[in-house]
Amino acid sequence: MIESFQFEEPLVDKVADALGQQGFIQLQQFLPDKLAQQLQIEAKDLAAIEFTAAGIGRNENLQLNTQIRSDTSLWLNGESTPQQAYLEWMEKLRVGLNRRLFMGLSEFECHYSHYAKGDFYKRHLDAFKGSPHKNRSNRAVSTVFYLNSDWQQDDGGELLLYADNHLSPLLIVPPLFNSCMIFLSDTFPHEVLASNCDRYSIAGWYRVNG
């Protein structure tokens, strides 16, 4: 039986307002602590036995390039109780954002990410405006949820969010436990700095129908 976690409707208002005004939001205490802890435990347990080299794209369009990214990942499929609870939480957020912003978000997909010491992901966009690329063109909103309860400032692995082609980052996001970064996929280039220790997260995307 899936444990029920109370979804807070004000969360939808906060995210919708931020996406509508500035296109991104940085949230603390995104999930109930118990669920965040369950996801953290599962990510660490599975990283050593089931994670595989992360690629660019997915399925038939998957490409591996360790010069661009060197982390490992595992797609969430809802087979475990924490995964089901997380996917249900993100589904409620999807419904709420569509109600508030009429974005036409049709589905959510996500994967665990593990950055070992030295791993990175160079600057990139999750979607490209007007691009025919089937695997990326319908990503509308990106999410990154962090699972690092013992992160310290010199541990590295920060997410850098950029505005357009600017060289200096708009925002430097530490991968703090139970925090979440949400932003428009085709608007903000971003990168993950090299990590100096094990770093865990859940990267996700809300899609619209192509």
Contacts of 19 (CB under 8 A, 6+ apart): 25, 97, 101, 141, 182, 183, 184
Average pLDDT, the chain: 91
Residue range 56-81, pLDDT digits in tens: 665 555 566 667 899 999 999 999 99
In a domain, 3, yes or no: no
81-101 and 33-47 helices, crossing angle to 10°? 120
Instruction: Using alpha carbons, select from 69, 50, 73 the residue that is nearest to residue 195.
Output: 69
In a domain, 32, yes or no: yes
- Nearest-5° Cα angle at 35, 78 to 79: 15
Instruction: Using alpha carbons, select from 176, 178, 185 the residue that is nearest to residue 204.
Output: 185
pLDDT band at 187 (very low <50, low <70, confident <90, very high): very high
β partners of residue 145: 180, 202
Alpha carbons 208 and 204: distance in angstroms, whole number: 13
The helix or strand, by DSSP H or E, that contains position 39, with its residue range, turns out to be helix 33-47
Alpha carbons 166 and 35: distance in angstroms, whole number: 37
Measured from the Cβ of residue 10, the count of other Cβ atoms closer than 10 Å reads: 7
In a domain, 138, yes or no: yes
In a domain, 4, yes or no: no
- The confidence score (pLDDT) of residue 62 equals 57
Evaluate if residue 136 carries a pLDDT over 80: no
Contact present, 136 and 126 (Cβ < 8 Å): yes
Contact present, 163 and 183 (Cβ < 8 Å): no
Q: Count structural domains, the chain.
A: 1
Q: Could you tell me the pTM of the whole model?
A: 0.91
Alpha carbons 144 and 129: distance in angstroms, whole number: 21
In a domain, 1, yes or no: no
pLDDT band at 1 (very low <50, low <70, confident <90, very high): very low
| DSSP3 helix / strand / coil % (the chain, rounded to 5) | 25, 30, 45
- The CATH number given to whatever domain includes residue 101 is 2.60.120.620
The helix or strand, by DSSP H or E, that contains position 99, with its residue range, turns out to be helix 81-101
In a domain, 5, yes or no: no
The helix or strand, by DSSP H or E, that contains position 25, with its residue range, turns out to be strand 24-27
Domain hosting 98: range is 11-208
In a domain, 121, yes or no: yes
Tokens 């082609």 correspond to 165
In a domain, 2, yes or no: no
Evaluate if residue 197 carries a pLDDT over 60: yes
